[in-house]
Amino acid sequence: MAISWENADSLESWKKLMSLKGLVSLKKELTAQRVADYQVADACGLTYNYAAKQVNSQILGVMQQLADDAQLTEKFAALYNGEIVNTGENRRVLHHLLRGQLGNDVIYDGKNAREFYVAQQKAIAEFADKVHSGAVANAAGEKFTTVCQIGIGGSDLGPRAMYLALEGWAKKNNTLKMTAKFISNVDPDDGAAVAASCDLAHTLFILVSKSGTTQETLANELFVKDFLKKANLDPSKHMIAVTSETSPLANNPAYLASFYIDDFIGGRFSSTSAVGGAVLSLAFGPKVFAEFLDGAHAEDVLACNKDITKNPALLDALIGVYERNAQEYPSTAILPYSQALSRLPAHLQQADMESNGKSVNRFGAPVNYVTGPVIFGEPGTNGQHSFYQLLHQGTDIVPLQFIGFNDSQYGEDVIVDGSTSQKKLCANLSAQIVAFACGKDDENPNKQFAGERPSSLLYAKQLTPASLGALLAHFENKIMYQGFIWNLNSFDQEGVQLGKKLTKKVLAGEMDGVLKAYAGIFGL
C-alpha cells in the first residue's frame, strides 16, 4: 500500500479522537489496579506507565485506529529505509542507522550509510583508545586528561546532557577516562570561563560543525585558539574536528584528526553520531558509548511495532497529541527525578520544539490545528520548590512526564529520619503523581487542589548507558511520530534561519530602520 501524507484532520479517526474529550476522571479512576495495568515495557529495563493519563480503553482503541489510518509505522519504515522524508531540505533522515539496522541497506552516492556510520564509530574508538593509552598526547608527551566540546544547538545540548547523565555512573564503575567540558554560547564569558577552568596543556578540544561554517562555533574556536597560543601551545595539537566530508574542516591539518557525519543526521538527533560519539568515547571509553548505542537501537526495534500497547514511544506520542489537540493543553513538562538528567529537559526542549514547532505541513500548506507544545522542565525535587505551584494550582493544565529510577548511580547514601535520600526522592516522585491526579478538597480555597493533572512515568532500576540510550530513543521516536500525525516535516528548522541572516546584516553594517535602532543600543 502506498503511503499517503495527509493532514490529520482529514482522517475520520482523528475527528473521532477529537470528540472524546473529558471521558476520564483521574480522581475516580486512578486505582492500584490501573497503575499495574496501564504500562508498557520499554527497552533495557525501562517501563512506560500511563495510568495517570486521561485515557481509557475506548480512547486507546481510537488511537490505534489513528495510528493505522495515518500509516505511522509505515512512515517510520520509509524513514529508516532511506526515503526522502525531510521535504524541506530534500534529504533522508538516518539517525536510526547510527545505532543499528532496522530495514534495508541505504545506499547513496555509492556509499552504504550503515557501513559509513560504523566506520566512523570504529575510527573514533581507535582514536579514543590512543588518547587513553598516551599514544596520542600533548607536545610534552603527557596524556590529555580533559576533553572540551565546542558546538552549539544539537552539537552541545544532546552530548552535554548525555555526558552529565553518565558522569556519576562512570565514576562509580571506574570508566571515567577524561573529564568533559562544553563551550556553546557565543557570549565570550562562556568561552572564557570554561577555558580558564581547563588545564590547557592537558585538554583536547573537539570542534563540532557539520557545515564548518557555524558562526558561533567558529567564533568560539578562535577564542579557544587564542587561549592556547597565549599558553604557548600549538592549537593544531590540541584540537579535533567533527564535521561533514565536504566542509572546510575536513582533512584539515589544523586538527589532529577529523570524524564525519553526513547531511542525513540532524543536529538535534546527533547524540548517537560522531557528534556525541567523540566526546562520550573520550570521556567514558568506546565500550560505554557502544552500550549507549545498543540501548537506543533496542528502543528503535520496539518503535516498529504496529500495536500501540507494545510500542511505548508511539503510545506516548498519541497520548501527547490527544492532550495537545483534543484537550487543548498548551505545554508539557519533563520532570526527571535524577540529578544526572539535569540537562535532559533542555535537550528535549530543542529536539521537540525545533522539530514540531511548525504551522505548515510537509508540503508548505497551513495546518488547521495546533502542533508542538512548549517543552520545559527541571529535575525533581528542585522543581517542586520552583514552578510546581503553577502546575498544581495554576489556570492551565500542563501534562507531565516524570522519569525515575529505583537506585542512584553512586550508591552512596545516608539514612535520615528512617529513610535514605534515594527513598525520599522516589517517595516525592510517587507522591507528586498522586497529588497532581487526585488533588485535595479543602474548605480554604487557597489550599484546594483541583487534581486532574495528567502525568506519565518512565522508570527503570538505574540510569546506565543502555537505559539512557533507550530513554533518548524513546523521546526521539515520540517526536518523530507526533510529526507524522500532524503531517509536519520534523527534520528541518527554518525558524532559526531568519535571525542568523539579520545578524549577518548587523555585523556587516547593512541595516536601517528598526534593526539599526536596536543594534544602536549596543553601539553596533
Measure CA of the first residue to CA of the last residue in the chain; give whole Å. Answer: 58
Give the active site residues. 354, 385, 500
The dihedrals phi and psi of 343, each to the nearest 5 degrees, come to -105, 5
Residues in the chain: 524
Encode 103-115: b = buried (16+ Cβ within 10 Å), e = exposed.
eeebeeeeeebbe
152 to 149, 215, 306, 469, 470: CA distances (angstroms): 9, 10, 36, 21, 24
Spell out the SS3 assignment of 472-512. HHHHHHHHHHHHHHHCCCCCCCHHHHHHHHHHHHHHHCCCC
Q: What is the Cα–Cα distance from 349 to 345, expressed in whole angstroms?
A: 6
Provide CB contacts within 8 A for 297, sequence distance 6+: 96, 99, 100, 469, 473
| Whether the Cβ atoms of residue 75 and residue 96 lie closer than 8 Å to each other | no
Q: Single out the residue of 172, 176, 177 nearest to residue 412, CA to CA.
A: 172
Residue bearing cell 495517570: 52
Name 143's Cβ contacts closer than 8 Å, sequence gap at least 6: 131, 132, 134, 137, 202
Cell of 412: 552512596
3-state secondary structure of 79: helix
